[in-house]
């Protein structure tokens, strides 16, 4: 059995007259099997409980490269040190009760999702829906190749790079879940680098003209979509939390929206003062959805909140001609424009319900329970006045917020 330092060039060009196995001098146990037909495959030879065993890594390809085979050997070596037996586990896997992708997703949803927050569960379900549509749900999960996962994610990345990253994380979790149950032998969705899909903070803030064009298109949408978008621009709250707004959480007398901690990303009860502009929308919707639990009731599912506004977002983007319009940009625009009219960072942070306040240390944040209720109300009222100025073109005097001592 020839032994030499395997190189990528050697592996790709080597030819033999009879079936030959080459052992890698640099990675103990790694071997390359070459047949006269040109077929090449990597294997790993190791000892387990005094016996010599052999594990088939895979055929040489664009996916199973020499570097990938060496990485696989290192993973198996560590696994064996911990008492694992790759060949024996693969045998058990071959005898396992195989699952289709759809069946694996069903069990993953049933056993993993209940551990997540309700809002996170909903996001997972939406992205799992993408997976069911983008990959063959009736194919055995063991039969998927890594390149299929990459091709699917690349397709998603074309229109939704951040969503592609989130879906990749779910797929990695799914394959780990499946590996633990011997439905697959490895996590083929792990450590996939999506070029240019790295989640990064956008800096898109809309101009006065863009805000007017967007508002104009908001008003052409059917209810409750129209009012959802308007409320997002008036209050600057998160889309998911706004869509779940309940009538029981609205105090018209105090002009206050109390978001229960179960519905907030930050996990705390959030108090949002309501300027007159927001109250007008609520009063308009009351005859339509007042008998429902939710302010923005779903038009297709009675007594449920509206869930999907992405299609409306695409329509608005196209008709308003506001390039790259995204729902979350409304929240960023509100935050930036409020800062421009001298809203103190601590107050702005409280309005946005960030877990880390606008200024001061994290330790200060733990003890700072003051909610800036009046300052928040003043700031949102000032933003409502500024928004009216933008929409109507009429100037209005805005007074600075008095900072609390």
Distant-in-sequence, close-in-space partners of 151: CB < 8 Å, separation ≥ 6: none
Token digits for 72?
């696989």
| pLDDT for res 212 | 94
| pLDDT for res 399 | 45
- CATH level 3 topology of 3-93: Double Stranded RNA Binding Domain (3.30.160)
Q: Domain segments of the chain: what residues? A: 3-93, 101-180, 208-392
| pLDDT for res 115 | 84
| pLDDT for res 216 | 94
Pairing verdict, β 250-251 and 20-24: unpaired
pTM over 0.85: no
| pLDDT for res 263 | 83
Residue 202 contacts residue 209 (beta carbons within 8 Å): no
- Yes or no: domain 101-180 corresponds to CATH 1.10.150.130: yes
The dihedrals phi and psi of 278, each to the nearest 5 degrees, come to -75, -40
CA–CA separation, 128 and 193 (whole Å): 20
Mean pLDDT of successive 10-residue segments in the chain (405 residues)? Answer: 86 93 92 94 91 90 84 87 78 64 94 85 90 91 88 86 89 92 87 62 81 94 92 94 94 94 84 95 92 89 83 90 89 92 89 66 42 90 94 63 40
| pLDDT for res 355 | 65
| pLDDT for res 72 | 87
Q: Are domains 101-180 and 208-392 of this chain identical in fold?
A: no
Which CATH number applies to 208-392? 1.10.443.10
| pLDDT for res 91 | 62
CA–CA separation, 186 and 142 (whole Å): 9
């Amino acid at each position: 059995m020839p032994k030499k330092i395997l190189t990528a060039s050697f592996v790709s060009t080597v030819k033999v007259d009879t079936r030959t196995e080459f052992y890698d001098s640099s990675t103990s146990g790694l071997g390359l099997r070459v047949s006269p037909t040109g077929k090449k495959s990597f294997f790993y030879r190791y000892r387990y409980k005094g016996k010599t065993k052999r594990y088939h890594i895979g055929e040489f390809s664009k996916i199973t490269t020499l570097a990938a085979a060496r990485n696989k050997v290192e993973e198996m070596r560590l696994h064996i040190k911990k008492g694992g037996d790759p060949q024996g586990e693969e045998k058990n896997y071959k005898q396992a009760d195989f699952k289709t992708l759809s069946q694996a997703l069903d069990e993953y949803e049933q056993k993993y999702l209940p551990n997540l927050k309700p809002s996170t569960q909903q996001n997972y379900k939406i992205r799992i829906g993408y997976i069911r549509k983008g990959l063959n749900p009736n194919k055995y999960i063991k039969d998927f190749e890594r390149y299929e996962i990459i091709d699917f994610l690349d397709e998603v990345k074309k229109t939704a790079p951040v969503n592609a990253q989130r879906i990749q994380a779910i797929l990695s979790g799914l394959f780990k879940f499946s590996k633990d149950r011997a439905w697959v032998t490895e996590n083929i969705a792990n450590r996939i680098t999506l070029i240019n899909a790295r989640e990064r903070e956008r800096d898109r803030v809309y101009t006065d003209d863009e805000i007017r064009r967007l508002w104009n298109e908001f008003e052409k949408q059917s209810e409750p979509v129209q009012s959802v978008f308007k409320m997002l621009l008036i209050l600057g709250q998160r889309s998911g939390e706004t869509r779940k707004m309940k009538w029981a959480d609205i105090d018209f007398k105090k002009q206050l929206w109390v978001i229960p901690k179960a519905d907030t990303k930050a996990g705390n009860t959030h108090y949002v003062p309501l300027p007159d502009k927001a109250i007008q929308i609520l009063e308009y919707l009351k005859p339509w959805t007042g008998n429902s639990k939710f302010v923005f009731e779903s038009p297709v599912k009675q007594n449920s909140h509206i869930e999907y506004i992405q299609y409306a977002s695409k329509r608005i983007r196209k008709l308003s001609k506001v390039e790259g319009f995204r729902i979350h940009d409304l929240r960023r625009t509100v935050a930036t424009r409020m800062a421009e009219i001298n809203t103190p960072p601590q107050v702005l942070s409280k309005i946005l319900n960030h877990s880390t306040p606008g200024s001061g240390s994290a330790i200060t944040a733990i003890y700072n329970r003051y909610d800036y209720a009046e300052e928040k109300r003043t700031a949102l009222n000032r933003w409502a006045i500024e928004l009216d100025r933008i929409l109507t073109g009429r100037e209005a005097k805005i007074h600075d917020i008095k900072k609390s001592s």
